[in-house]
Structure 1
């Protein structure tokens, strides 16, 4: 038998063995350390950290954290705990606003946040962006802002109604300039931002502006929040004047007329999808016990 035929027969045998289902699996502790660390990291999925503001409170008084069931990984073993703390850190949303109805320390509620994985979603309606209503992002903890790499904003807050009629867009009105400046001011607070998601058709964002923040939580579509690729056909999305094409027209307009505005982050258009369970966190400390259990 020639060496070529021996090689061919050996190759065929190897292919047959590789096509057969595995009957034995390596125990997890016996896997290479590099592979175990990758598995631990994969068990920590990205989340959307949603912050809602209200004119009835100072700054961003309340936050809703979209929280998949994943935080228990830190209690598995020492290796998992090290990987958890490598990815996550405890952050305080707000250190500057006083804790109403609570004497002494202003209830610094700490939340788990992964700058590399998690997205901060700033939820507010367009009326909030007017200078005499706009709550200040400066109330948020600057250390937290400096760590954010992935930011999401509502399209309603920063797009201009001039773009609901389609091109050409030959003039820059005061309203458009004001919107651009508001966006520029906000992005400067996030020096490490890598991606900017413009969220279209979030059902909650289309609620009447007069709803208080507590009423908003009552009527808000509940569930775990995910920012998905944009699809058509949803009623809330169809009713939004911009939709995806209009948002991209607005972004292209900003890139052409305000080139320094969006030259750093990668811009994406997303839609908000909800399902599951939400946990509310507030800096007043009213839900501090629930937050600690998280």
Structure 2
């Protein structure tokens, strides 16, 4: 039996759907793009999905026989197996999962941008072509109908793309908190001013806040740093206040609109 569904391979939504098929006696056997292959069995096993590098999966094929697998990219695979969480091949695939969801978010945004561009170009071409024709009531109605359909398609594409990107982004944010890997995360730049310091402040003790860079200093002992971080102003202030008096530093919003 075959079924066609659109899922991010290895996602919780996909695994839940596959396990619902298993409760009806259909065991997953293969995946080809959007097509899922099943076979009817007396007792279908519940599945889990694991992300792992393609090289790792190939090296384990002689001892590990999953029910199905799917290659996401050249260096990443999703493996579907009927094992318990305690028997997982990969003890922790959060880092691999983060890579996959980051890529999925980028793909969703690219599709969103491409869809809007194509529809906008089609609408623009329709207007240009209609301007070269003799105006008639029928042509006007057809033009308005075409523009309405184009606008509706654009809105549908924007909503669909945004929903997909937001779902992936939420999962990316969760996985960043779990793994601590924020290398590709956007970080606003806060401005931190240390006042009346006898020497350059040692920011190594605050490396966990983010990336520090000295921007300016003067002879009065004022040092102006830029701090790239995912933390909030309140968290930065509370951390600095553990070592310095609040009169000795100032944290400015990354928007540069007000001083805390």
TM-score range (shorter-chain normalised) is under 0.3
TM-score, reference length from structure 2: 0.23
- Structure with larger Rg: 2
Question: Larger % of helix: which?
Answer: 2
TM-score, reference length from structure 1: 0.21
